[in-house]
């Protein structure tokens, strides 16, 4: 009898293991009525007590969006999205913004604990996995708490929610907002610009090396809610910052829209390292539910010798549409893109990067690893453009695809535009299958099917994983294994 009870528990654990962040948190929320028109935009702006200029900025974005149509060039099949059925603002009910962690709803704190996020700034955190990481957590639409604010403040570093930045540092926000991703950049960016609710803001003053990883966790909780957060990150002259972004969402049958915008600005000699581990709910094995992740991420290397480095591990979402890019304006500036994208079951990913070389001797590196299993479809789409002024520009691109099984697909779509004859552009692409020989070799040494697969996949992704901060790399390895569960054997 106890044996059968054990079995039941195991079965339950196993079936939840599929997506272990799929729980829903019961929290009183302040929610906008569904639908989208100018009044929705005004509602959001009013809720956030925004200044006039920002409302005007949003309205301009909304008017641009109304004239635009959804892009259809990506190799993804999207069920029609009813933008009028979605809800554009949902905030956990709270009197004003939380002044300290003690004012944050304990249910919320418990949820973040469940997600493994060290929200509480305690020395006790030292032993916890993500210790020493300053976290800004975004729950549905608003930022709930930012940790380590005081320590960062002593160095002049600003790290807070977007809403707070608008209140406390309007001059900085106004100066940089939309300068990398204009309101009318594309359909989803315009939508975000009109209805974004919150997000994270960071400013690193000249010469300061940010002593800890800055981190944002995004969580979609409420049903039928789109999440439209904005991140604005500015590294002033000679500064350095490493930024982590992680995401989860509850398991729901219907699709949820996530359309974020991230803008990075690196001034002279500044470096920004931006890492993402994306683990949104991917939908079930039949392709029901899951997050639509339509994100615009772009960094501008404004100053000479500046550097922006994107690293992403994309394991979740039903559909991923995402091209973190670098505009290399400053001479000798450097752009990097390291990506692992996994699609299993019915997941679709169309992801890649754009490297726009404008300044002299700019260089960029693109390493993309696509893994397809089940009926997953994985497309790398990348643009390398060398502008006429970009003397001596260099790009190296390597796109590797790994197929697991024979019902999945991998596609590589490189666009290369060279308008300066001194440029050097190299592109390498490979497609391989996990071979039975490799799996058998591992199993002959005693590794289980799953361990063998995860070992081989991690080996395949190594060049990207080694770019991640330590704590994230371990997490990412585990995620890769979980994402591929059941894809062999």
Judged by beta carbon, residue 175 or residue 443, the one nearer other proteins is 443
What is the C-alpha separation between 325 and 312, in angstroms, rounded?
A: 12
Judged by beta carbon, residue 64 or residue 342, the one nearer other proteins is 342
The two three-digit tokens of residue 31, written as one number = 């929610």
- The minimum distance between CB 438 and other proteins, in angstroms, equals 5
DSSP 12-27: HHHHHHTTTT------
Partners of 145 in the β-ladder: 137
Contact partners, residue 157, CB within 8 Å, separation at least 6: 202, 203, 204, 205, 208, 210
- The minimum distance between CB 437 and other proteins, in angstroms, equals 5
What is the C-alpha separation between 449 and 436, in angstroms, rounded?
A: 11
Judged by beta carbon, residue 407 or residue 443, the one nearer other proteins is 443
Pure H helices in 230-349: none
- The minimum distance between CB 458 and other proteins, in angstroms, equals 7
Look up tokens 């009525």; give the residue.
33
Judged by beta carbon, residue 26 or residue 436, the one nearer other proteins is 436
Q: Encode 213-238: b = buried (16+ Cβ within 10 Å), e = exposed.
A: bbbbbbbbbbeebbbbbbbbbbbbbb
- The minimum distance between CB 378 and other proteins, in angstroms, equals 18
What is the C-alpha separation between 357 and 391, in angstroms, rounded?
A: 9
Partners of 246 in the β-ladder: 217, 277
- The minimum distance between CB 354 and other proteins, in angstroms, equals 27
Judged by beta carbon, residue 184 or residue 458, the one nearer other proteins is 458
- The minimum distance between CB 488 and other proteins, in angstroms, equals 11
Q: For the chain, how big is the Rg over CA atoms in Å?
A: 22
What is the C-alpha separation between 438 and 452, in angstroms, rounded?
A: 8
Assess contact for 389 and 447: CB atoms under 8 A: no
Judged by beta carbon, residue 32 or residue 457, the one nearer other proteins is 457
- The minimum distance between CB 125 and other proteins, in angstroms, equals 24
Q: Which residues bind other proteins (CB under 8 A)?
A: 435-438, 440-449, 451-452, 455-456, 458-463
- The minimum distance between CB 326 and other proteins, in angstroms, equals 25
Residue 201: closest CA among 240, 158, 168: 158
Tell me how many degrees the CA angle 313-140-273 measures, rounded to the nearest 5. 35
- The minimum distance between CB 341 and other proteins, in angstroms, equals 17
Q: Encode 48-68: b = buried (16+ Cβ within 10 Å), e = exposed.
A: bebeeebbebbbbbbebbeee
Judged by beta carbon, residue 69 or residue 444, the one nearer other proteins is 444
Assess contact for 285 and 354: CB atoms under 8 A: no
Judged by beta carbon, residue 12 or residue 466, the one nearer other proteins is 466
Judged by beta carbon, residue 129 or residue 449, the one nearer other proteins is 449
What is the C-alpha separation between 197 and 163, in angstroms, rounded?
A: 8
């Amino acid at each position: 009898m106890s044996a059968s009870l054990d079995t039941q528990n195991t079965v339950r654990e196993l079936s939840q293991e599929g997506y272990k962040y799929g729980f829903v948190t019961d929290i009183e929320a302040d929610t906008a009525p569904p639908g989208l028109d100018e009044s929705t935009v005004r509602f959001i702006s009013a809720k956030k007590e925004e200044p006039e200029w920002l409302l005007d900025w949003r309205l301009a974005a909304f008017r641009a969006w109304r004239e635009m149509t959804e892009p259809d060039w990506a190799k993804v099949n999207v069920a029609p999205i009813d933008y009028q059925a979605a809800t554009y603002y949902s905030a956990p009910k709270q009197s004003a913004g939380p002044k300290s962690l003690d004012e944050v709803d304990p249910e919320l704190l418990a949820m973040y604990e469940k997600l493994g996020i060290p929200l509480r700034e305690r020395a006790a955190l030292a032993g916890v996995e993500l210790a020493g990481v300053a976290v800004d957590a975004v729950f549905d639409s608003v930022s709930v708490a930012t940790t380590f604010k005081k320590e960062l403040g002593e160095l002049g570093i600003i790290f807070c929610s977007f809403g707070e930045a608008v209140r406390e540092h309007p001059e900085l926000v106004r100066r940089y907002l939309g300068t990398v991703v204009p309101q009318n950049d594309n359909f989803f960016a315009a939508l975000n610009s009109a209805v974004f609710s919150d997000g994270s803001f960071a400013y690193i003053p000249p010469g300061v090396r940010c002593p800890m990883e800055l981190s944002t966790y995004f969580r979609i909780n409420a049903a039928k809610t789109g999440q439209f957060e904005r991140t604005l990150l500015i590294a002033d002259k000679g500064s350095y910052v490493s930024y982590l972004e992680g995401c989860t969402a509850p398991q729901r049958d219907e699709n949820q829209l996530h359309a974020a915008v991230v803008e990075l600005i690196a001034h002279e000699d500044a470096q920004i390292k931006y890492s993402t581990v994306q683990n949104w709910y991917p939908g079930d094995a039949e392709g029901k539910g899951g997050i639509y992740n339509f994100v615009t991420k772009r960094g501008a290397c404004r100053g000479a010798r500046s550097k922006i480095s994107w690293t992403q591990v994309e394991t979740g979402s039903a559909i991923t549409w995402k091209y973190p890019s670098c505009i290399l304006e400053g001479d000798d500036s450097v752009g990097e893109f390291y990506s692992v994208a996994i699609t299993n079951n019915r997941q679709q990913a169309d992801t890649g990067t754009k490297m726009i070389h404008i300044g002299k001797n700019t260089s960029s590196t693109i390493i993309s690893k696509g893994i397809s299993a089940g009926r997953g479809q994985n497309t790398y789409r990348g643009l390398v453009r060398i502008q006429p002024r970009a003397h001596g520009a260099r790009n190296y691109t390597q796109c590797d695809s790994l197929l697991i099984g024979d019902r999945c697909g991998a596609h590589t779509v490189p666009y290369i535009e060279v308008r300066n004859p001194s440029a050097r552009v190299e592109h390498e692409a490979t497609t391989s299958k996990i071979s039975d020989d490799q799996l058998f070799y591992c199993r002959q040494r005693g590794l289980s099917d799953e361990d063998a697969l995860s070992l081989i996949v991690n080996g395949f992704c190594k060049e990207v994983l080694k770019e991640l901060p330590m704590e994230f790399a371990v997490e990412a390895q585990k995620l890769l294994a979980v994402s591929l569960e059941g894809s062999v054997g």
